């Protein structure tokens, strides 16, 4: 993940949390973790 992608992801999560959309933020975080685990097992 590039720095720009990471920044975009973090800003998205921050915006969700600031708009009291905690469930959507949690879902996004879970999806990113799942994707990272899938990509980590590919190597």
Q: For residue 12, give every residue at least 6 positions away whose Cβ sits within 8 Å of its Cβ, in sequence order, or none.
A: 28
Give per-residue pLDDT as tens, 1-43.
Answer: 899 999 999 999 999 999 999 999 999 999 999 999 998 876 5
Residue 9 main-chain phi, psi, to 5 deg: -60, -45
**For position 42, what pLDDT does the model report?**
65
User: pLDDT value at position 5?
Assistant: 94
The per-residue pLDDT for 1 is 82
What integer pLDDT is reported at residue 43 of this predicted model?
A: 56
| pLDDT for the residue 22 | 97
pTM value? 0.82
């Amino acid at each position: 993940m590039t720095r720009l992608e990471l920044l975009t992801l973090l800003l998205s999560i921050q915006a969700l949390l600031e708009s009291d959309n905690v469930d959507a933020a949690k879902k996004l975080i879970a999806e990113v973790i799942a994707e990272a685990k899938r990509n980590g097992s590919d190597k």
